[in-house]
Amino acid sequence: MTLFQALYLNYLSVRNKLFHQTGYLPALLFVFLSAISSSFRAFTATQLAVCFLLPAMNLIFSIGSSQSPRKHLFNIGFLFSLIALIIQPAYMFFVLMYLCIAFLRPIYLVEWVVLLLGFLTPIYFFTTILYLFDFTSWIELIGKLQLLPFKDFHLPVQNLIYSVFFVVLLITGIYLLQSQLTLLTIYVRRCWAIIFGMLVFSSIVALFMHQDQSGNWLLVVPASTLLISNIFTSDKRKQFVTFAFYFVFATLIIFRYFL
């Protein structure tokens, strides 16, 4: 499943011209980031949510050139609602999808209502199924939506090292992206702003997920992959790109066999 997600993310970046160079770098980097942590390699609810997050990102990026924007908006709301049903803290994506659409398109009340209907449709069918199976104890259902208490938060040493490495790559990618923004169109710049917003919201959602759900930080990998890819597509010297590649490759070996 990780391979198909990586290829779709690569297709997304090429189709929307996020980089001035084309290739399979985003796919390779996605597989790399997903393979470092053992918790990312297990099939979890978060990995299933990523399957819906990627097409939602693609629809958002293509909404500006769509001939049927209302259809796209309904599908965007539908996909984000499925993510929210799979991992409950993802209801915060409700705010994100409206911010993305307001950033890319003029505000039309009809389109916003269509987006809302798309978000409510899976919830409507879900509640209908619960009613048909006589599951009407809503208090019990809500009680199962466990969030992560900050006082119980702990981070193993291995995950701490991984987080530091991840943040260093992310900051470097964001820094190099700023030097390339002048080469991109205004619409693509807005797409990059949305990617950064998705990174922020995904981090918040992952933070509030219950700590027993392994691999919850996989939710931030798609947006992070696109941002980190700027390290290898920048106009910096070839020596810098080569050093970055071998640094990432060596880190993968260390995490895979020594940590």
Separation in Å, CA 152 to CA 23, 159, 172, 187, 214: 43, 16, 31, 42, 15
Helix axes 186-208, 221-228, angle to 10 degrees: 140
* pLDDT value at residue 54: 92
pLDDT of residue 148: 45
DSSP 109-172: HHHHHHHHHHHHHHHHHHHHHHHHTT---HHHHHHT-----GGG----HHHHHHHHHHHHHHHH
Q: Which domain holds residue 185?
A: 2-257
pLDDT at 144 over 60: no
The 10s digit of each residue's pLDDT in 154-173 is 555 666 777 777 788 888 88
CA–CA dist 24, 2 (Å, integer): 14
**What pLDDT shows up at residue 147?**
46
How far is residue 24 from each of residues 7, 14, 181, measured CA to CA in Å? 8, 9, 21
- Alpha-helical regions (H) of the chain: 2-15, 25-36, 45-61, 69-86, 93-104, 109-132, 138-143, 157-178, 186-208, 221-228, 230-233, 238-257
Of 175, 166, 192, 167, residue with least CA distance to 231? 175
Instruction: Identify the weakest region by mean pLDDT among 39-48, 49-58, 61-70, 205-214.
Output: 205-214
The predicted-structure confidence for 164-216, as pLDDT tens digits, reads as follows 777 888 888 888 888 777 777 888 888 899 999 999 999 888 887 765 555 67
Number of separate domains in the chain: 1
d(CA 189, CA 107): 19
Distance CA 239, CA 232 (A): 11
* Mean pLDDT computed over 67-92: 88
- The structure tokens 């947006």 sit at 223
Q: Is 66 helix (H, G, I), strand (E, B) or coil?
A: coil
How many angstroms separate the CA atoms of 145 and 167, rounded?
A: 29
Give the pair of three-digit tokens for residue 88.
């409950």
